[in-house]
Amino acid sequence: MRIAACCPAAAALGLAPDMMLADARARVPDLIGVAHAPYADHEWLEALADGCGRYTPAVALDPPDGLVLDIAGCTHPFGGERALGVEIEARLARRGILVRWACGETPDAARALSRFQTAAAPDEDAAIRRLPVAALELDDEATTALGRAGLKTVGDLAARPLAMIAARFGGAAVTRIRRILGEEESPLIPRVIAPPMRAERRFAEPVARTDFALEVLGELAGEAMNALAQAGEGGRRFEARFFRSDGQVLRLAIETGQPSRDVKVILRLFRERIDSLADPIDPGFGFDLIRLDVAVAEPLGASQLKLEGGAVAEVEVAVLIDRLSTRLGRGRVRRFVPRDTHIPEQAELLLPAAEAAKPAAWPEPEAGEPPLRPIHLFDPPQPIDHVVSDTPDGPPLRFRWRRTLHEVARMEGPERIAPEWWRRREGANAKGGLTRDYYRIEDVRGRRFWIFRHGLYDEVEQPGWYVHGLFA
């Protein structure tokens, strides 16, 4: 593992990028390491590029940590190149970002100056000629070779016939030199901003009818779905905005549990949402713009219909869950999910149905075997008393529950479930709780209980007994 980046405090301790983490730890044992997330860095850079949109529309990314701004003709509002640079520096410094910047005739020159310039120079050309050859960003071997040849600055190279350089370091090196010197054009490739999936309709006259507005929304949804289908995606979150002529904007958002391209489903969800609102859409003096954004989209392949017709149950359930969740709220619609544990009361979880991943399979009961788990679980388990049983692990022969005495007729067990020793509960002995011995019990009247003894006789002196559930 190597260090990808370090904070100023770490740098002050002599740590630097590209160092082995083990080496760094040998020097600074209490180093805090955080995993490098290049993707997050890239997103951050994109966000900065967005922000720089305020200075110029042409912003190009120079990953992993650079931005190139084409400021031709954009400097006057800020009072010139230098003032613009200072402004950017100050603005980003407020967010804790250290900026190195430079202006240049060509993007390559600006880039090289900002990254490699170490001392001020009278003019740009002199500054460029003073740059170390590393600024050419040739491969390591070529950079070393230039150094070995005693050519240490861009100026050293530029002073010699470029044919000599080409013969030794290839045409690409010459191109680099010429570009940095501004002798060759290097186009700036502005960042391509993926447009959000969006459909909108402007009206010459404000539209005052809600019905019509919804109809338009339907059309917009159709357009958006087509765009989604082309991208091989389905929307998970849709946002509709109704711009009223008086300047107010009404916003509606819906989500689906699975990516969807079904216009009908989306529209129905919007209707549900509108119905559930306390104050349905009020057009006031009318809407002059309606916009539909697909805020979150996920890959969705083409689906295949069943040849024999009819709906796929899974899809139906998903649609139902979406409708209910939209109407009642996400947290209100939940489903049971099995959990992989031996502890019975933790064996299932209730999760918001819209969030739950594809439902995992439940353990199948064995054919011909009576069920191991009861149909109803008490939470918490209910204590029983007057228990008569054999030590060390005999079943209860008789017990009293809810003031009724039960005589045991049949039983099976014990099923021994040991505590999860790694959970350190306060109070209980350090093993994370007590072992339980579960018995399936049928009393003389045919009622079936799931009873456990809490603790083995060598764990506690007087283990308690509980009914944990009832079989049908």
Q: Which residues of the chain form contacts with other proteins (CB under 8 A)? A: 13-16, 18-20, 22-23, 25-30, 32-33, 132-133, 144-145, 147-152, 160-161, 164, 167-169, 338-342, 360-364, 366, 369, 372, 412-418, 420-422, 424, 430, 435, 437-438, 440
Write down the least CB distance from residue 238 to other proteins, Å: 33
Whichever of 232 and 371 has its CB closer to other proteins, that residue is 371
99 — alpha (psi -120 to 50), left (phi > 0) or beta?
A: beta
8 A C-beta contact, residue 185 and residue 106? yes
Phi, psi values for residue 367, rounded to 5°:
-65, 135
8 A C-beta contact, residue 463 and residue 457? yes
Tell me how crowded residue 91 is: count the other CB atoms within 10 A of its CB. Answer: 15
For the chain, the distance separating the N- and C-terminal CA atoms, rounded to the nearest angstrom, is 58
Whichever of 400 and 423 has its CB closer to other proteins, that residue is 423
Whichever of 15 and 61 has its CB closer to other proteins, that residue is 15
Q: How many helices (H) and strands (E) does the chain have?
A: 13, 14
Write down the least CB distance from residue 155 to other proteins, Å: 13
Whichever of 128 and 227 has its CB closer to other proteins, that residue is 128
Whichever of 47 and 167 has its CB closer to other proteins, that residue is 167
Write down the least CB distance from residue 15 to other proteins, Å: 8
Write down the least CB distance from residue 353 to other proteins, Å: 19
- Rounded CA-CA distance 205/191 in Å is 37
- Rounded CA-CA distance 406/396 in Å is 10
Grouping H, G, I as helix, E, B as strand and the rest as coil, residue 73 is coil
Write down the least CB distance from residue 249 to other proteins, Å: 45
329 burial type by CB count under 10 A (0-12 exposed, 13-18 middle, 19+ buried): exposed
Whichever of 255 and 437 has its CB closer to other proteins, that residue is 437
Write down the least CB distance from residue 403 to other proteins, Å: 29
DSSP 135: G
Whichever of 200 and 420 has its CB closer to other proteins, that residue is 420
- Rounded CA-CA distance 4/152 in Å is 28
Write down the least CB distance from residue 40 to other proteins, Å: 19
Write down the least CB distance from residue 104 to other proteins, Å: 23
Torsion, CA 431, CA 433, CA 434, CA 438, rounded to 10: -130
Whichever of 114 and 435 has its CB closer to other proteins, that residue is 435
